[in-house]
A and B are shown apart, each in its own frame.
Chain A
């Protein structure tokens, strides 16, 4: 594709914009390695006077980090499994099978994306509490086994691109729908499934509202919520707060850098197919 040539000012402008966007992050990482005294006495010095790596172990030991991390991983892995299962079967039903009323029902799937969570929050909370899920990570995991409109949409779009002849051939070979789904469609859809897994993992890792609503026992807090508890009790220890924030962010940054293609492709599809 012949793109327009860059304006001579492109590089300076881009560099300045990058600096503005990246600065807060760079500043956060550098400051998390500064001694506490430097942050109060000389807050604007760019480089740490001394690289205070001890901030990190200190931040870790100031909270039950291992437990928070374990809860976060349980939450993330459980939710990823839930979304992969419920959304892929639903997407199969909406794309590879023909049945009466299918497109009307799919319209309802799309409509739920536009529904603000406020409207369903209270009854949903009371319902999950009623069935004994209050104060349990299951309250956050179980709903992922019941489908998510956006992921269903994303997978359906992908399934639709797989030629129907493949399914027909498998049917002639005597494979049932479940067999076609698990042995043909799913293996062909790895990129789309990876996108769903990635997005769900991030959503669960970052989720704050869920734990705030459903969890009361600190033993069950995932990192996102545990970090908030830490922030409110150590609000004057900036160096520890920043170290904890960096530790919490780092897995997401690493995940993004490793899976950049999946990331960018997934996000691009969200917008364009609208």
Chain B
């Protein structure tokens, strides 16, 4: 019989083992390696700040890392707010008394069930500049031929409104799968106390004002949660990035995201020190962004509702 106070730790021991081996140790090791030259064949050799200096240099001169940083920022800062906007809009529309609500919900959700590998095949084909469906629709609207995944339209600065490039295509894929978030918003709207709407109605608020002054404030904690998680996840986006560029970040490095650049640095160039430094820099930037988001939260997130 185990003594009572050891029972809890005993129950969590599988997690604890995983935490120590797969989180704490790797965390510490990659921090140490970020200050080393390490190619797997010889032991890590400390080189001080050299890896970080190289990263800083690449940012300053627009090298691969600078490019990856810009691409990742562009992707995250557009895809997350757009997905939230689409998710909230769909959820609000579905929360109206419409017939066939569950039918619509199922259909909006369906794209997020499609595995990323299959979705990449699908969008590569839809966005093919030669005979893709989307390209031909845009051409019918009078747009010049966007090259999407296949070309470097983004080399033209500033691009025209209809000149979409690889990153925009990745954003489109993310927004298409926003049904995932919609489900969360829909559940949250269902939890808003009816009295709030009734009170607003008594005060003479029309549908628009009820949306603006009841629904959105009551949704703000959930929106905030999705903003933070979405940001963290979109910065880590890898599978779709790898697949649409066949693991290269091409054309012209325009879809080279941080996660792919890091992967290639580690497993193609065997430059573990440089890759670890990149990972740590990314971690610190994400942490800072999260802290800043939490700081701004008190100005727009309403926690006095039923939800914590």
Contact = CB atoms under 8 A, between A and B. Distances in A.
B and A form one assembly = yes
Interface of A: 1-7, 10-11, 13-14, 17-18, 21-22, 24-25, 27-28, 40, 43-44, 85-87, 89-90, 92-94, 97-100, 102, 105, 108-109, 112, 114-124, 126-127, 143, 145-147, 152, 176-177, 181, 205-206, 208-209, 212-213, 224, 227-228, 231-232, 238, 241-242, 244-246, 248-249, 252-253, 256-257, 260, 264, 267-268, 270-274
B107 to A, nearest CB: 5
Given A44-B133, A224-B117, A271-B184, A5 B96 contact: yes
B26 A147 contact: no
Contacts of B165: none
B176 interface: yes
B184 A97 contact: no
Contacts of A90: 11-12, 14-15
| A interface, over-half SS | helix
A86 B236 contact: no
A119 B290 contact: no
A93 B225 CA distance: 26
Contacts of A176: 1
B226 A271 contact: yes
17 contacts: A1-B194, A7-B96, A17-B93, A85-B14, A94-B8, A112-B19, A114-B232, A114-B287, A116-B235, A118-B262, A119-B280, A126-B40, A147-B18, A224-B117, A228-B243, A244-B121, A256-B110
Contacts, number: 269
Contacts of A127: 21-22, 25-26
| B interface, over-half SS | helix
Closest 7 CB pairs of A and B: A146-B18, A93-B11, A271-B184, A147-B15, A99-B8, A268-B187, A123-B26
B162 interface: no
Nearest to A90: B15
B279 A143 contact: no
